[in-house]
Amino acid sequence: MQANHNYSRISDSYLFSTIAQKIAAYSELHPDKNIIRLGIGDVTQPIVPAVIEALHQAVDEQATTETFRGYGPEGGYDFLKETIALHDFQELGLSIDSSEIFVSDGAKSDIANLQELFEKESIIAIGDPVYPVYIDSNVLAGRLGDWDETSGEWSELVYLASHSDNNFTPSLPTEKVDVIYLCYPNNPTGMTLTKEELQSWVDYALEHESLILFDAAYEAYIQEDGIPHSIYECDGAEHCAIEVRSFSKKAGFTGLRLGYTVVPKALTYQGKSLNHMWNRRQSTKFNGAPYIIQRAGWACYQEPAKSQIDENIQYYMDNARIIRDGLEEVGATVYGGVNAPYIWLKTPEGITSYEFFDKLLEDVQVVGTPGVGFGPSGEGYFRLTAFNTRENTEEAVERLQTFFREL
């Protein structure tokens, strides 16, 4: 048996595992120190009461022969798919149908698995910096060539650089690319594209017969008008884009595991329907999200859960504002945090993102994520998340202010 050689291309450890190890090592040396974690983007608010109630009801349904549900449809129950199509798309005037919705155990799996739809030889462009799963999953499939230690880049990947010099709006590729990964509101920068900017990507994809994989996991955090909630707000996107959504950040489902992917029926390449292909992929290699979790997902769209969820989002966005304002007060340069729960902090002159991570942990015991972990354009930046309690957020801001004042 020959082990898949592509696994040798990549480090054994995923970004967040590496960071967890660094924190664990520090904790062991300094057991008395109170570390505040604004690192990994995990929610901290519990599941809202109305969704808890829906979970209990669904659990009870599993207890009697009459209401027991075994295998469900691999792509999700109609009650959930129809609710999603209605509230997330049709009510916004977008003509997405429930047969174009595929419910899954989360955006991470979908984003990683969607690459099975295209050929191994495809030329891939990925927003930089970005959620590491896009790159790592393509490396494991042997698509991105070799790692170049000097440049900190994969040899066959087209990087779509986002940084303060271009106001975090990457330029269209100068060459023809086959597949484009975009994430807006962006993880990690917390920045967004306007509808016009996103339309230019759709136009590029239509012209070059490219496919856009649009990750809208943070859609629920958009506060300002004029920011697209879905790529299907752009003309022609149903002919060139797949959109991935998540209940994780929207409704705190990081531990419940639920997401969905939109594959429009109009999406065809060489006469092949990606909707049919994704259906074949999911029904062959996946057996659906748990019934009780799908019921919880359904409940998120009903009152009073909807308002309870909105309150949680507001809570996190208030945290984001507190972090932004607090850092600006001491002269730090910050981005994001307005339409997303992430603050993208410029590290002080001459300090790399990993040095900043170590220094912050050592000096004030605040944990964030080194920007370079999200890609080469992340060097010189640092991600802080709004996912914590108000108390911890305020305490972290005070410590960060002390840190910057003493710099």
Report the site for its own copies in 297-356 (rule: CB under 8 A): none
Compute the least distance from the CB of residue 352 to its own copies, in Å: 25
- The stretch near its own copies (CB under 8 A) out of 59-67, 85-93, 346-354, 361-369 is 59-67
DSSP 8-state secondary structure symbol assigned to residue 382 = E
| Residue number, 309 or 332, with CB nearest to its own copies | 309
Which of 160, 222, 289, 367 touches its own copies by CB under 8 A?
A: 289
Say whether 346 sits in a helix, a strand or coil: strand
| Residue number, 73 or 348, with CB nearest to its own copies | 73
Which of 270, 303, 349, 350 touches its own copies by CB under 8 A?
A: 270
Largest CA distance in the chain: 67
In the region spanning residues 111 to 150, those forming contacts with its own copies, defined by CB under 8 A, are 112-113, 116-119, 121-122, 133, 136-137, 140
In the region spanning residues 31 to 50, those forming contacts with its own copies, defined by CB under 8 A, are 40, 42-47, 49
Amino acid at 239: H
Which of 23, 52, 94, 206 touches its own copies by CB under 8 A?
A: 52
DSSP 8-state secondary structure symbol assigned to residue 230 = S
Helix-helix angle 353-364:15-29, to 10 degrees: 30
| Residue number, 65 or 150, with CB nearest to its own copies | 65
Does residue 59 belong to the site contacting its own copies (CB under 8 A)? yes
Report whether 179 contacts 121 (CB < 8 A): no
| Residue number, 121 or 303, with CB nearest to its own copies | 121
Which of 108, 229, 346, 383 touches its own copies by CB under 8 A?
A: 108
| Residue number, 117 or 222, with CB nearest to its own copies | 117
Report whether 178 contacts 210 (CB < 8 A): yes
In the region spanning residues 194 to 223, those forming contacts with its own copies, defined by CB under 8 A, are 209-211
Q: Give the integer Cα–Cα distance in Å for 290 and 296.
A: 10
How many chain residues touch its own copies (CB under 8 A)?
Answer: 82
Residue 319, CA distances (Å) to 225, 246, 253 in order: 20, 21, 19
- The stretch near its own copies (CB under 8 A) out of 160-168, 264-272, 337-345, 353-361 is 264-272
In the region spanning residues 65 to 94, those forming contacts with its own copies, defined by CB under 8 A, are 65, 67-72
In the region spanning residues 224 to 253, those forming contacts with its own copies, defined by CB under 8 A, are 252
Which of 33, 195, 272, 405 touches its own copies by CB under 8 A?
A: 272
Q: Give the integer Cα–Cα distance in Å for 178 and 204.
A: 11
Q: Give the integer Cα–Cα distance in Å for 244 and 260.
A: 6
| Residue number, 368 or 380, with CB nearest to its own copies | 368
Which of 164, 287, 302, 333 touches its own copies by CB under 8 A?
A: 287
Say whether 10 sits in a helix, a strand or coil: coil
Starting at the edge strand found earlier in the chain, the sheet holding 334-336 runs 334-336, 342-346, 381-385, 369-370
Compute the least distance from the CB of residue 94 to its own copies, in Å: 22
In the region spanning residues 6 to 35, those forming contacts with its own copies, defined by CB under 8 A, are 7-8, 10, 12-14, 17
Does residue 376 belong to the site contacting its own copies (CB under 8 A)? no
| Residue number, 3 or 29, with CB nearest to its own copies | 3
Provide DSSP, 162-197: --GGGTT-PPPPSS--SEEEEESS-TTT-----HHH
Which of 291, 344, 374, 403 touches its own copies by CB under 8 A?
A: 291
Q: Is the dihedral of CA 42, 19, 382, 389 positive or negative?
A: positive
Residues in the chain: 407
| Residue number, 97 or 105, with CB nearest to its own copies | 105
Does residue 62 belong to the site contacting its own copies (CB under 8 A)? yes
Output the six-digit token pair for 93. 């005037």
- The stretch near its own copies (CB under 8 A) out of 88-96, 159-167, 220-228, 290-298 is 290-298
Amino acid at 203: D
- Contacting residues for 400 by C-beta, under 8 A, at least 6 apart: 323, 326, 327, 330, 332, 360, 364, 366
The whole-angstrom distance between residue 18's C-alpha and the CA centroid of its chain comes to 19
